[in-house]
Amino acid sequence: MAELESVSNLYSTIISRSAKTTKIEWMNSSKVLELPACRTLTFNKNGDFLAISDSQGVRIVSTEDYEKPLWQVAKPKTVEVKFSPLAKYLAIWEPVSKDKTTETVPCNLHVYNWRENKLVMEVVHRKQSDWSPQWTSNEFLCSRLANNSDILFYEDHNFSQVKCKLHMPKIMCYSLAASPASYHVVISVLGSKGEPSFVRLYKYPNFSSPSDALANKSFFKAERTELYWNNEGTSLLTLTFSDNSEESYYGEQHLHYISTKQESCQVHRAKPGPIYSIAWHPNSKEFCVVYGLMPAKATLYNLKCEPVFDFGTAPRNLAYFNPFGNLLCLAGFGNLNGGMEFWDVEKHKMLNKFSVVDTTYFEWCPDGVHFLAATLSPRLRVSNGLKIWHYSGIKLRSWETNELYSAIWKPVKEGTHTEPTLKFTASQAAVVSATATAKPAAYVPPALRNKMTSSTSGTPAATSAAVYKPKFREDYELPSNLKEQENKPMSKSAMKNKKKRDNKKAKKLGSSPEKADDDEEE
């Protein structure tokens, strides 16, 4: 079976966290390991270590066996954990709680050099939203936000001395680029007393005055900001939100591009409406934006913010590049029906589309052709579980539970997988063909889905996904390449065949048909 062959070649591990257990499953075997339930967990970048927080505290285990602790600390209230880029440090955060005996607030943000079992930093940090320290990829520079007005920088693993400080009142958020060559930091500041909000880009450590900024963007309507760096740390996108708008009940959103070369411009959109998703291509030279009133438009831009390709419109709100950037998934989750489109990025060609209903979480497998689709709580409290799919529409594994809180792939070292060839095998092509011609399944309420009996035919088509095919509407737009084909002038033979088809329709309706070119009298 093609499904079994796909599983045997899928050397990846997946971890799912539910209310009663933490389940570790190896995709290329039947091996399953169950650990006690935990609050949160995270891998380091290469997937060598796993940090787990549960009622006993925080521990780090090796991903070779997942059981023997390499390091542990008694912090049972921990709800957030994060590895530094090279996995030398582990940062943990606990909710702030006042000591009733001393009437003081103990430190709740701790950074450990876990390899040497040293506590290198502990401070009080009240907000969970911006708790995490940020490092450059070589770990030479570490930063953290203090009191929404100061960004503190530590150099060369020395956490006892603040080497530099960026002071700015009302900092909403900031982001440190991961690039190891030159260090850049961007800040977003909330405006006050008639002054606009703004985003500024600095090169470390030159931020003693506003004139030192490499780029500066002001926004009179911006209550919130999201910052998106590309992988190389050379360009970023700033998404601003305003709750008040004369045009829309949902407020306004604006997207701007900024680079470390002091280039900046607004990203123009071809359709009004909200921005749902932003995804950088792994090569850091292109990015995809999903935007506009439903059905939403998706567009691929270059670094000049020029549209490279328009994917048309569909009920979608998310975009995901696979780790190699040659495959793009455009999906509609949440209040949409779980439709997924898979595009060859280089050829701008749709390879397949289907739907996985009730999906709330999506993640590409490190091999670039399989993906995880999960229904997580509390977003949805029914039909919780996860499924492993191939982008051809073949379902490899599925697991259902009463409550599922998270599911993640184990990361792998760079070079473990090679870039996949986007070509279906014979069995995968059969599934694509079957799903393309099949009719969508009738809607079944969530309460009745577990009572439905599934097909047991054993064919690949029986395990494939339901077809996603939206009904025609006037506001649907075709992708760029199909628009060009549609606008091309018809050849004589095509015109002749069109007239014949129109004549048949006219006869059925009882009207007089038009004569085709070859039937006309000379």
Question: Does 334 share its domain with 482?
Answer: yes
- Residue 108 domain boundaries: 38-132
Going by C-alpha positions, the residue among 322, 361, 351, 356 that lies closest to residue 339 is: 356
Are 288 and 281 in contact, with CB atoms under 8 Å apart? yes
Residues with Cβ within 8 Å of 28's Cβ and at least 6 positions away in sequence, in order, are 7, 8, 9, 10, 11, 12
* Amino acid identity for residue 374 in this structure: A
Same domain, 213 and 305: no
What single string gives the DSSP state of each residue in 176-214? E---SSS-EEEEEE---TTPPEEEEEEETTB-SSGGG-S
The answer on 499 and 484 residing in a single domain is no
Whether 448 is in a domain gets the answer no
pLDDT digits (tens, 9 = 90+) for 40-62: 999 999 999 999 998 889 999 99
Asked if residue 120 and residue 193 are part of one domain, the reply reads: no
User: What sign has the CA pseudo-torsion 361, 362, 366, 371?
Assistant: positive
Average pLDDT, the chain: 83
3-state secondary structure of 55: coil
Q: Return all residues near 489 (Cβ < 8 A) that are at least 6 apart.
A: none
Q: Residue 509 is which amino acid?
A: L
Q: Which of 334-343, 396-405, 492-501 has the lowest mean pLDDT?
A: 492-501
Residue 190: partners with Cβ closer than 8 Å, 6 or more residues away: 170, 171, 172, 197, 222, 223
Among 396, 371, 373, which residue's Cα sits nearest to residue 385? 373
471, part of any domain: yes
Check whether residue 144 and residue 113 sit in a common domain: no
Q: Is the pLDDT reported for residue 301 higher than 90?
A: yes
Do 287 and 325 lie in one domain? The reply is yes
- pLDDT tens-digit series, residues 158-208: 998 999 999 988 899 999 998 777 899 999 998 887 788 899 999 988 888
Examine the domain organization and report whether 154 and 280 are in the same domain. Answer: no
Task: Say whether both 361 and 334 belong to one domain.
Answer: yes
Residues 394 and 296 in one domain: yes
464: pLDDT strictly greater than 60: no
In the numeric block, which tokens belong to residue 379? 């977003």
Q: Does 292 reside within a domain?
A: yes
Is residue 449 one of the residues assigned to a domain?
no
Q: Are residues 272 and 295 in the same domain?
A: yes
Cis status, amide bond into 295, omega within 30 of 0:
yes
Tell me: the pLDDT tens digits for 400-429?
888 888 889 999 898 888 888 888 777 777
Residues 355 and 273 in one domain: yes
Predicted structure pTM score: 0.81
- Chosen domain end from 250, 279, 306: 250
pLDDT above 70 for 512: no
Q: How many domains are there within the chain? A: 4
Task: Give per-residue pLDDT as tens, 202-259.
Answer: 998 888 888 888 988 888 878 889 999 999 889 999 999 887 766 677 678 889 999 9
Mean pLDDT is lowest, of 29-43, 283-297, 298-312, for 29-43
What is the model's pLDDT at position 469? 45
Q: What per-residue confidence (pLDDT) applies to 463?
A: 43
Is the same domain home to 389 and 431? yes
